[in-house]
Each structure stands twice: as structure tokens, then as C-alpha cells.
Amino acid sequence: MKKSFVVLSLVVLITLSFSCKKEAGEGGNSSIYGKVYVKDYNSNFTILQDEYYGQDVDVFIVYGDEQTYGDKTSTNYDGTFEFKYLRPGTYHVYAYSKDSTLQTLASIPIIKDVEISDKEEDVESPEIIIFK
């Protein structure tokens, strides 16, 4: 009886220690911010018509190893975006772009990996450059 109590106690303790570890995602005090830059080409990508920071561009974030995005936001008038209240971990931030190789007519994601390593850390994402 005493041995089974010790084993059960160890199992509960191990389970609780693993369940307390928080994965990447919402619920923290950190943030990821950045900008989206747009290169506007003609239809066959031979002439650059304009360049600017993208306004109202949807930006998505994937928490850790998740298969789908966890949240999305839109850029401000100056191309800036921010995801707040994140925990330390690895994130993938992306926006959709036309395929400049003309291999597909579908939009493709331009993904930037961002690592938050500390609580209450504000991390700048590498600039996301998309084609329109």
C-alpha cells in the first residue's frame, strides 16, 4: 500500500509539472511587432510600379508547432502590425503575396520566424515584403 501511494504521488507530481509548462501562445506579457512592405509590379512582374508600406494588409501568427494560425491582425496606415499578450516561444508571422515567379496564380505566404525568449519582451519581426 505504501509503495503504491509513493508511485501514485510521483505520477501526479510529474503530470502537474508538465501541465504547468505553457507553450507559445496567448496569455503572456510579450509582443511581436513589425511592418509589411509592398512592391507593386505589373501583371508579369517586369515593371515595378510602386513601393510602399502596406495599409490594411492581413498578418497572421502561428503559435509554436500549431497547424493553423492562432490570430490575425491588419496593418495600420504605415504598414505596422502588433501581436500582444504572448508567452515566450517560437512564432511564425506571415502575410500573403502574389507569386513573383508566376508559378501559381494563388497567393503564397511570406513567413518570418520570431522567437520570444523572455517574459515581457517586445520582439521586432523581420520586415515582411509582399508583391501585389
* Residue of 128 and 4 predicted with greater confidence: 128
Identify the pLDDT of residue 11.
Answer: 47
Mean pLDDT, the chain, rounded, equals 87
User: Residues 7-15: contacts with CB within 8 Å, 24+ apart?
Assistant: none
Condensed to tens digits (0 to 9), the pLDDT of residues 67-111 reads 999 999 999 999 999 999 999 999 999 999 999 888 888 999 999
Taking the C-alpha atoms of residue 79 and residue 87, their distance in angstroms, rounded to an integer, is: 24
Quickly state the pLDDT bin for 120 (edges 50, 70, 90). very high
Q: Identify the CA nearest to 51 among candidates 37, 65, 62.
A: 37
**Strand 122-124 to 26-41 pairing:** parallel
Q: 23-131 architecture in CATH?
A: Sandwich (2.60)
Average pLDDT over residues 4-19: 46
- pTM (2 decimals)? 0.80
